[in-house]
Structure 1
Amino acid sequence: MTDHESTTAWRELLDTLGSLDRTFLEGDRAVTDDRHIADGYRMLATTLGVAFDTYLFADPSRPRWVEVNSPVRPDRRWGGDNTDAYYFMCPVDPNRRYRISGNSGDSVYFSVTAYNEPSPGAWSDRIVAIVRDDDLDIDADGNFSFDFGPTPDAAVLMTRDYQDDPQTGRPVTWRIEALDEPDPFRHGDAETATALRSSAAWLRTMFAILPLAVGVRSEDAHTLGHEISTAANEFADPYQVPDANFGWSARDACYAYGSFVLEADEALVVTHRPPPCRFWNLVVWNQFMATPGVADARSSINGHTAVPNADGTVTVVISRGMTEHPNSITTLDYARGNLAFRWFLTDEVPARPEVSLVKVSDAPSTVT
């Protein structure tokens, strides 16, 4: 029997899935502990689910929002996880008109960003448009509505909804409807094959950047030839996202990334001065850009939950357990991983956060 194109594409997808664990088992990016190996397989399952929702089951002429990041869903922790926010995605047709509406809930910042797709399944490399909450007419009850499109090059919409306290705050409710007649219903062999190949391409791109590197501690670093190591336990300089980007970064955000390597009796003391901004947070990631154990650990802190020092700076103590400091967050006993700062709608790029490595017994226990 001759295989259909979708049969061939399905087997190609299975081959892709069967090979992607090499990215975290072999080579320079191999992880070094069993927890990260287990996280790697969970990330494979997570990204496959997102890929299917985005490519296999999506229909831009019959749009629907797909939840892609959530503080409460363990199967939606990926791609720059964030315990303070809800993200939804919706593939769209650049030639169609849409109406987006909803209610702002208790959001402190929300937006819809349109991204391009350079080829089927390829990650975006350009922000096409953005609509923020302060661009909208929001009534006294929090309701809003606006029209979007046609928008050349727009392939996918991504919503962002940041909450001071996602455990108690009401998330934004989102609706989307196409204002044009839908395409004839057809999920045949060719369409399915294209969707499966797009899903495989999306997965390959994800694992081209994962797992994230973790720097080496200063006492282990060397400067021989081209092997100058990125240092652990510090942050890189913050930067503002440009229109040209990779993936689904937020144009109105600044980011700073770092990594940690901690012994059981060590802590990082991180101090920064938040600039005036709508929202900021600091999150702990494993090497797959996911925050583990959200229900059992405080692994992030934001401008609402943080207790500032008297001079307006904020000090955060990061360790493998919890400490007495009011801004203590934990790696949930991960010895290695990554750290991410983000600041939304600030007029200036923040100064680089200061980091010191100390014994847990010497870490501050109060704000200054």
Structure 2
Amino acid sequence: MSQPDEKHQQALVKKVISGESWNEFCDLLKAAGQFVIDNSVEDELERSEGFRYLARLLASSLQDSVEPPSLTPPTIQYRTTRIGADNPDFVYASVPIRGNLTYRITGCLNDCYQFNVGAFHGRLGTAEGLQSTGFLNQHDLQVDDRGHFTVIASNQAPQRDEGQWLPLCEASNSLIIRQTLLDPSNEAKADLSIDIIGGELDSLDQPMSAKRLDNMLGRPALMVHGIAQQFLGWTNDFMQRKNQITEIKPELLGMAKGDPHCQYNYGYFELEENQALRVVLHPPKCDYWNIQLANHWLESFDSRSIMSSINMRSAVKEKDGSVVIMVSANDPGHENWLSTQFHQRGVIALRWLAAAEKQTDPLTELITLS
């Protein structure tokens, strides 16, 4: 160990033993809490959800940092954390990986309407954000008559008969999988498995150390603060155009890396109890579309009992093919009602997947209910 490295190691040991690492962890969380206060109104529901949002982010990031999932064998983690107006029609999953290894992903689509998998490096909430090295959607996948497919994720292209290639780089640290179910309560998600078929993984059995603990605490705290700050930047931008829905700015979407074939549109509703927002959609020919509501913190609403999300299958169309959506707290007696679920204000998300042309902003109208 060089002299500078030795001094750095000694400083880390002192930092942990003195409690400075723990204090930094707590200070970052305290700063995130202040960020919630500074970016919300003095409302019981909004503030309570804001601090719950931080707790959810912390629980997820601490789990990954302190008790990380297995790299051997690879572990498919189905995510329930609500971030960035997560889509209720989606089943989100991630797989921690190492970019120097070769992986074989096999699956059967079952009732899955859309499926995509991407290889990424970087992390949400960091200056780098998520960066993609490869992406496959259902049109890219080579699927047999039974719905089965094989994908090889690796640095080097595989032999043609081994499977379809998903490129990795040395810095790749995760695979992110999104599945679309048009009726999530009654449909089966894809069956998936993943194996390491090439490369060597260094031993992960290491004793606890000052460096490991400092990373275990520092990274989750930074991620909580960073993710909250990143997506509140989205909310604050949407709030500039209340009760309108417009395409998201590229600089906002760039750090989150959604589906590259999807047009993302967002709005911010603010309604009195006797008001509704009327939204008129003209769905184009496309692979998929949906519209949904989320709270101020961009957490999707729970749609198990009350409808706060409508997709291309569930929407009731007008005779001319248009779709009229009513956003309100109380049921206006409309087929396409999206309930605000006790929220006076929040976010609207609209997605058009693989439309042939860019879609114009939908017409919105604030109306008073009788």
TM-score (norm 1): 0.83
The match for 1:131 is 136
| Alignment partner, residue 64 of structure 1 | 75
How far is the alpha carbon of 1:118 from its aligned partner?
7.3
Q: In the aligned structure 2, how far is the partner of 1:5 from the partner of 1:144? A: 51
* 1:123–1:205 contact (8 Å) kept in structure 2: no
Deviation string 1:326-358 (CA, Å, 9 cap, x unpaired) is 111110121011111012222222121110011
Residue 236 of structure 1 aligns with an amino acid whose one-letter code is: T
Distance of aligned partners of 1:183 and 1:322 in 2 relative to their CA distance in 1, 3 Å threshold: farther
> Which residue of structure 1 aligns with residue 117 of structure 2?
112
Give the residue type in structure 1 aligned to 2:183. Answer: D
Candidates 55, 62, 67, aligned match of 1:45: 55
Query: 1:36 aligned to 2:80?
Result: no
More helix by share: 2
**2:205 matched to which residue of 1?**
186
CA distance in 2, matches of 1:8, 1:104: 49
Q: Deviations over 1:301-331 (max 9, x none)?
A: 0011001111121111110122211111110
Counterpart AA for 1:67: Y
Give 1:14 shift. 2.6
C-alpha deviations, 1:288-310, integer Å up to 9, x for none? Answer: 11123333311110011001111
Q: TM-score, normalization: structure 2?
A: 0.83
Once residues 114 and 14 of structure 2 are traced to their aligned partners in structure 1, the CA distance between those partners, rounded to angstroms, is 53
Question: How far does residue 114 in structure 1 lie from its aligned partner after superposition?
Answer: 1.8
Letter matched to residue 176 of structure 1: I
Of the structure 1 ranges 8-17 and 128-137, higher mean CA displacement relative to structure 2 is found in 8-17
**Residue of 218, 222, 230 corresponding to 1:209:** 230
Indicate the SS of the match to 2:220: helix
| Gap change, CA 1:9 and 1:252, over 3 Å in 2 | farther
State yes or no: 1:286 paired with 2:309: no
- Distance (whole Å) between structure 2 residues aligned to residue 264 and residue 18 of structure 1: 34
Rounded to whole Å, the distance in 2 between the matches of 1:167 and 1:14 is 39
CA distance in 1 between partners of 2:124 and 2:368 (Å): 49
Provide the secondary structure at the position in 2 that maps to 1:193.
helix
Query: Larger C-alpha radius of gyration, 1 or 2?
Result: 2
For structure 1, which segment, 271-280 or 173-182, has the greater mean C-alpha deviation from structure 2 after superposition? 173-182
5+ long unaligned stretches in structure 1: 70-75, 217-229, 362-368
Query: 5+ residue gaps in structure 2?
Result: 1-12, 156-167
Instruction: Select the residue among 234, 241, 244 that pairs with 1:234.
Output: 244
- Separation of aligned partners in 2, 1:280 and 1:115: 25
**Structure 1: how far apart are the matches of 2:132 and 2:323?**
32
Q: Deviations along 1:111-138, whole A, 9 cap, x unmatched?
A: 0012221799655253221011222232
1:47 Cα deviation (Å)? 0.9
- Identity among equivalent positions (%) equals 24
| Aligned match of 1:366 | none
Q: Across the two proteins, how many residue pairs are aligned to each other?
A: 339
